[in-house]
Amino acid sequence: MKFLIIAFLLFANIASAEEDMSALLLGEEVVGKKEEKAPEAPQAQTPSKPSAEAVKADNILKNMANLMREEKLQAKMTELSDTAPLGLKWGTSKKEVEDQKVILTAYNDNKYPETYTGSNFPKELPSAENVVLSFGEDNRLWRIVIISKIQTDDKDGIEIMKTYDDLKRLLTKKYGEGIETKKGFDAPPAPAPETRRRNEPAPMPLSFTESMMKRQKMVYNQFKKDGVEIMLTLGAKSASETYYTLSYKFLPIIEDREKKQLDAL
């Protein structure tokens, strides 16, 4: 009997110890799981704001690039400045042109600011009647337009076409082959007889000048060399009067103005 009591107590102690050990192990496992933290998701890095020194250095580089571009363009304009007609120089100011004894008179032109008519040029073109000069808001000569004397009694365009062919030959010799456009020089087809009423006379074809005034006939030639663009164009003032126009534009100044506008935008 005593043996049974001792065995029972020993068994109870062992069971209690196993329960304590199990609880202890479970407790450690739970505690261990609670202490473990899930890895944090990487946070997106916001771009750092450039320092004042970096901004200053970037501005210096941009200014240097602009200065180099400006110096290169100025060198190009200086090299090509003598390519202007009538003994003038591209890029010169109004005062510098007047210093050459050229007489300038203000000319109202809404499309081209600071435009003047001129006379008494260092070199003259005998067939020229009027000359228009445009300086622009930055006061640099960049556009010259020469308008010829009127060819009277030239309704068939014979005289003005002779002048055109002579100018075309000279311009080709100086600037190279141009791009010529002629419109309306092919003879129009005669209307079919059935389209006219009986005894109705055939319509008279338009004269050269009438076709020019109605823009059914056009003649122009474009040349380009050394930064200069030249357009030779024919026109008609009346049914019997013709003339030509020579328009010169200095492209480096146009390019310089566009780049400065882009930099400011």
Nearest to 88 by CA among 157, 5, 47, 144: 144
How confident is the model at residue 27, as a pLDDT? 46
Q: How confident is the model at residue 243 (pLDDT cuts 50, 70, 90)?
A: very high
Q: Which two tokens stand for residue 129?
A: 């009647």
Asked whether the predicted pLDDT for residue 117 surpasses 70, the reply is yes
Mean residue pLDDT across the chain: 81
Q: Which amino acid is at 125?
A: L
- 157-173 pLDDT, tens digit per residue, is 999 999 999 999 999 99
259 CA to centre of own chain: 9
- pLDDT > 80? residue 67: no
Q: How confident is the model at residue 260 (pLDDT cuts 50, 70, 90)?
A: confident
pLDDT at 29 over 50: no
Of all residues in the chain, the percent with pLDDT exceeding 70 is: 72
**pLDDT bracket for residue 25 (50, 70, 90):** very low
Which residues are within 8 A (CB) of 190 and not within 5 positions of it... i.e. 6 or more apart?
202
Nearest 10 degrees: Cα torsion 173, 176, 181, 182: 20
Question: How far apart are the C-alpha atoms of 74 and 253, rounded to whole Å?
Answer: 9
Looking at residue 263, the DSSP 8-state letter turns out to be H
Q: Considering only CA atoms, which of 204, 117, 111 is closest in space to residue 155?
A: 204
Paired sense of beta strands 228-236 and 242-250, if any: antiparallel
Which residues are CB-neighbours of 164 under 8 A, at least 6 positions away?
A: 219, 232, 234, 244
Give the mean pLDDT of 89-99. 96
Which has more confidence, 233 or 66?
Answer: 233
CA torsion through residues 205, 209, 214, 218, sign: positive
Check residues 166 and 28 and name the one with the higher pLDDT: 166
- 118-150: b or e for each residue (b if 16 or more CB lie within 10 Å)? beebeeeeebbeebbbbbbeeebbbbbbbbbee
Region class of 114: left (phi > 0), else alpha (psi between -120 and 50), else beta = left
The pLDDT of 226-234, averaged and rounded, is 96
pLDDT confidence bin for 89, thresholds 50/70/90 = very high
How much is the pLDDT for 33?
46
Q: Which residue has the higher pLDDT, 10 or 192?
A: 192
Alpha carbon distance 206, 261 (integer Å): 47
What is the enclosing helix (H) or strand (E) of 220? strand 218-225
* Mean pLDDT calculated for residue range 31-45: 55
Whole-angstrom Cα distance, residue 215 to residue 235?
Answer: 9
Cα–Cα distance between 183 and 185 in angstroms, integer?
Answer: 6
DSSP string, 43-88: PPPPPPPPPHHHHHHHHHHHHHHHHHHHHHHHHHHHHHGGGSSTT-
Q: Structure pTM?
A: 0.69
Lowest mean pLDDT among 5-14, 82-91, 202-211, 236-245: 5-14
